[in-house]
Chain A
Amino acid sequence: MQRVAIIGAGTMGRTHCNAYLNIPDAQIVAVCDLDRSKAEGLAVRHGAAVFTSYEEMMSAAEFDILDICLPTYLHCKYALDAMEHGLHVFCEKPIALTEEDALKMIEKAEECNVRFTVGHVLRFFPSYSNAAELCREGRVGVPRLIRTTRNQAFPGWSWQNWYADYEKSGGPFVDLVIHDIDWIIHNFGEVERVYASSFNGKAERQEHGIAILRLKNGTICHVEGSWAYPKGSVFRMTYEIAGTDGDIEYDSVKDAPVWIQSSEDGQYRSDFLNPMSGPVEPYMLELKSFINAVEEGREPLISGQEALSALRVSLAALESSRTGCAVTV
């Protein structure tokens, strides 16, 4: 049994808490957030202790794993400290905002002999893992052209609006597109060259980034992430993999099995639902995978190095979008 403390009781903290309910080998013993009511809201279902200070939690609670669900710019600081205290660390993606911070985290985990992973959850989404599996089986021949999109309205829900501050979130390349970049690197190959464009803060409360990747094996990719959709629009992710013998396409809206339309107080609402519960729930799968690695004393499925590889490509995209030059990774 692994005892887990969660720091950050926002959207991701809540998502993780729900997922742990279905992991018998883990128990949430503490939840920490500056906002006590948020922490309490999550802690109550787990019988976990509530803290509003990390230091207080570290001295008062006993646990094995720190699960970091904080804004990106805070990842490094808390990961390093937890590792120094001998804790295993599950960190939400992206690993950090800079290569230097990411390297510090990777090295610290080695130095302290603790397990460390980053939440590249897309690998555990059943549609994405199935498509990758189909490619490995050779159903499309050799994958050669990959298109991914991850589009939504500007994130207006975040604590102190930290998403809007690209110094803290990295913007869509580092926060959003990194999901698809990790999936591409892991399943289709390492990136050689990146060229990208983005609004880079020019449009008010709208951000939109597209990167063209050339993989070392020659495959080309079009990866798109948007925070430029109108307020209230549905989150949507798609991919297309064209190979030498075939093609795979997926669209979370077009292929949604449940479409709900309703009117609440005269406001029209439309929701596309893709139920992924029970044994295929991706957040449960990624956390369980880490818990198992810790229990069995082996390397987690997603290493810090892999998270760093994805970050490097995201940062290359960011740089390219600013300079107009292709960046060799």
Chain B
Amino acid sequence: MKEIRIGVISFEHMHALSYTTELGKIEGVQLAGIADSDEYRGTKMASRFGTKYYNDYHDLLTEGLDGVIICTNNSMHCQVSCDALDSGCHVLVEKPFAICKEDAEKMLNHAKANGKRIMNAFPMRFNPNVIEAKKAVDEGRIGTILSITGINHGKIPSGWFIDKKLSGGGGVMDHTVHLADLIRWFTGSEFSSVYCESGDLLHNRNIDDTGLVMAHMENGAFVTIDCSWAHHRNYPIWPQVDMEIIGTKGTIELKAFAQVNHVTDQKNSIIEDLCWNEDGDAGLIREFADVIRTGREPNASGLDGARALEVAEAAYRSSKSHRQEQVIHVEA
């Protein structure tokens, strides 16, 4: 099997750490280098993973890579993705896909023009518990889906995440997309209209940290997404992705991160729930490697990323108008 070479652009988003670790576990994949405009962070990571450091990602892109993983801040996704696609790389870009519809369209067009694949990092599609629930739905065990209630709570992140210029938005941008993607995947239907109440309600950081989204799907199902950074620093677990799925023949309650050990650590005064199963990152990175090898359409494609972004954008419009907003679709 031909070895494939993958580069990582930026550790601004901390998921780069786990993605790069997973890369190292796949046979026939070489980590070709790490680019990061932050020299301290970039050199530290390059040493940790035993690879070459590039300050300017353009230099990394001249090294004849097969693919890159992009974990810059959200506002950079478009430019870096387009440059990478133009250099002949397949791309895996962190979610949200982009910060606006126009950027998303540009990225999809660059992929098409260069004959390359662009994939969006939706690790939940590769979470074993999500996969199990999806299988039950596909087997018809709960009949037709009539409604889904999704909760993606978490703790408030720091740094660029809470700077709208760099992130494109707060919790509504950061957390709506995961569940919007899973809901599309589970129902096989597109979002039609979206309503949202949101605000800077919990943490006083001048960005939307709390949000409730309610939406109607084209097939008639209605869904809700709680995208709030609702948890405080001593909440026992960071990730929470829950779905209550109501079908015509039954229901599913999915708690994607329920497989934990409950840890009480007196010495450090910590009570913590620690997941012991794969979270989805490993499957995501394996998928990307396979997409590079085969050139096939990825599960969690750029278009899936753009479709989830459309929901977040409609949610922001509705937060302002207090009305149900129609989803404006990116052209496929």
Name A residues whose Cβ lies closer than 8 Å to a Cβ of B.
144-145, 147, 193, 195-199, 202-203, 206, 208, 210, 212, 214, 218-222, 224, 226, 228-230, 233, 240, 242-247, 324-326
B197 contacts chain A at the CB level, 8 A cutoff: yes
The distance from the CB of B211 to the nearest CB of chain A, in whole angstroms, is: 8
A197 touches B212 (CB 8 A): no
B41-49, B199-207, B286-294 - interface stretch: B199-207
A193 touches B214 (CB 8 A): no
Inter-chain CA distance A193–B197, complex, in Å, is 10
Inter-chain CA distance A202–B228, complex, in Å, is 31
Inter-chain CA distance A325–B248, complex, in Å, is 26
Chain A residue at minimal CB-CB distance from B250: A230
In the complex, chain B residues whose CB is within 8 Å of the CB of A246: 232
**CB contact under 8 A between A243 and B220, given known A195-B324, A206-B146:** no
The distance from the CB of A244 to the nearest CB of chain B, in whole angstroms, is: 6
Inter-chain CA distance A147–B228, complex, in Å, is 12
B202 touches A144 (CB 8 A): yes
**CB contact under 8 A between A324 and B324, given known A218-B199, A219-B201:** yes
Inter-chain CA distance A3–B149, complex, in Å, is 47
B222 contacts chain A at the CB level, 8 A cutoff: yes
The distance from the CB of B183 to the nearest CB of chain A, in whole angstroms, is: 14
In the complex, chain B residues whose CB is within 8 Å of the CB of A210: 147, 149, 214, 222, 224
Inter-chain CA distance A8–B149, complex, in Å, is 36
A220 touches B216 (CB 8 A): no
How would residues 208 to 233 of chain B score, 1 for a CB under 8 Å from any chain A CB and 0 otherwise?
00111010100010101010101110
- By CB atoms of chain B within 10 A, which of A218, A242, A245 has the most? A242
The distance from the CB of B271 to the nearest CB of chain A, in whole angstroms, is: 14
B187 contacts chain A at the CB level, 8 A cutoff: no
In the complex, chain A residues whose CB is within 8 Å of the CB of B249: 230
A208 touches B210 (CB 8 A): no
Place the interface of chain B in its size category.
35 or more
Name B residues whose Cβ lies closer than 8 Å to a Cβ of A.
146-147, 149, 151, 153, 193, 195, 197-199, 201-204, 210-212, 214, 216, 220, 222, 224, 226, 228, 230-232, 235, 246, 248-251, 322-324
9 closest A-B pairs by beta carbon, nearest first, are A197-B222, A144-B201, A242-B230, A220-B197, A195-B195, A228-B246, A212-B212, A214-B197, A145-B210
Chain A residue at minimal CB-CB distance from B223: A197
The distance from the CB of B214 to the nearest CB of chain A, in whole angstroms, is: 5
B210 touches A220 (CB 8 A): yes
A244 touches B197 (CB 8 A): no
The distance from the CB of A73 to the nearest CB of chain B, in whole angstroms, is: 27
Chain B residue at minimal CB-CB distance from A242: B230
B246 touches A208 (CB 8 A): yes
A193 touches B322 (CB 8 A): yes
The distance from the CB of A293 to the nearest CB of chain B, in whole angstroms, is: 37
The distance from the CB of A242 to the nearest CB of chain B, in whole angstroms, is: 4
- By CB atoms of chain A within 10 A, which of B147, B149, B204 has the most? B147
Inter-chain CA distance A247–B231, complex, in Å, is 7
Chain A residue at minimal CB-CB distance from B202: A144
- By CB atoms of chain B within 10 A, which of A198, A202, A206, A224 has the most? A206
Inter-chain CA distance A163–B235, complex, in Å, is 40
In the complex, chain B residues whose CB is within 8 Å of the CB of A245: 232
Inter-chain CA distance A203–B46, complex, in Å, is 57
A147 touches B226 (CB 8 A): yes
In the complex, chain A residues whose CB is within 8 Å of the CB of B230: 145, 240, 242, 247
In the complex, chain A residues whose CB is within 8 Å of the CB of B146: 199, 203, 206, 208, 228
The distance from the CB of B264 to the nearest CB of chain A, in whole angstroms, is: 18
Known: A243-B202, A324-B324; 5 extra A-B contacts, CB below 8 A, are A198-B222, A210-B149, A212-B214, A228-B246, A245-B232
In the complex, chain B residues whose CB is within 8 Å of the CB of A195: 195, 197, 214, 324
The distance from the CB of B104 to the nearest CB of chain A, in whole angstroms, is: 27
B149 touches A224 (CB 8 A): yes
- By CB atoms of chain A within 10 A, which of B153, B195, B203, B248 has the most? B195
Inter-chain CA distance A123–B251, complex, in Å, is 29
- By CB atoms of chain A within 10 A, which of B197, B231, B232, B324 has the most? B197
**CB contact under 8 A between A222 and B226, given known A208-B246, A244-B202:** yes
A220 touches B251 (CB 8 A): no
Chain A residue at minimal CB-CB distance from B226: A222
In the complex, chain B residues whose CB is within 8 Å of the CB of A325: 323-324
Inter-chain CA distance A219–B202, complex, in Å, is 10
Inter-chain CA distance A222–B220, complex, in Å, is 20
B224 touches A212 (CB 8 A): yes
Inter-chain CA distance A240–B212, complex, in Å, is 14
In the complex, chain A residues whose CB is within 8 Å of the CB of B211: 220
In the complex, chain A residues whose CB is within 8 Å of the CB of B151: 147
Chain B residue at minimal CB-CB distance from A193: B322
Inter-chain CA distance A82–B164, complex, in Å, is 61
Inter-chain CA distance A72–B324, complex, in Å, is 32
In the complex, chain B residues whose CB is within 8 Å of the CB of A247: 230-232, 235
Inter-chain CA distance A214–B322, complex, in Å, is 10
B231 touches A203 (CB 8 A): no
B248 touches A220 (CB 8 A): no
In the complex, chain A residues whose CB is within 8 Å of the CB of B193: 324
Chain B residue at minimal CB-CB distance from A233: B251
A228 touches B251 (CB 8 A): yes
The distance from the CB of B324 to the nearest CB of chain A, in whole angstroms, is: 5
In the complex, chain A residues whose CB is within 8 Å of the CB of B232: 245-247
In the complex, chain A residues whose CB is within 8 Å of the CB of B214: 195-197, 210, 212
In the complex, chain A residues whose CB is within 8 Å of the CB of B197: 193, 195, 212, 214, 220
A242 touches B324 (CB 8 A): no
- Which of B202, B220, B246 contacts A145 (CB under 8 A)? B202
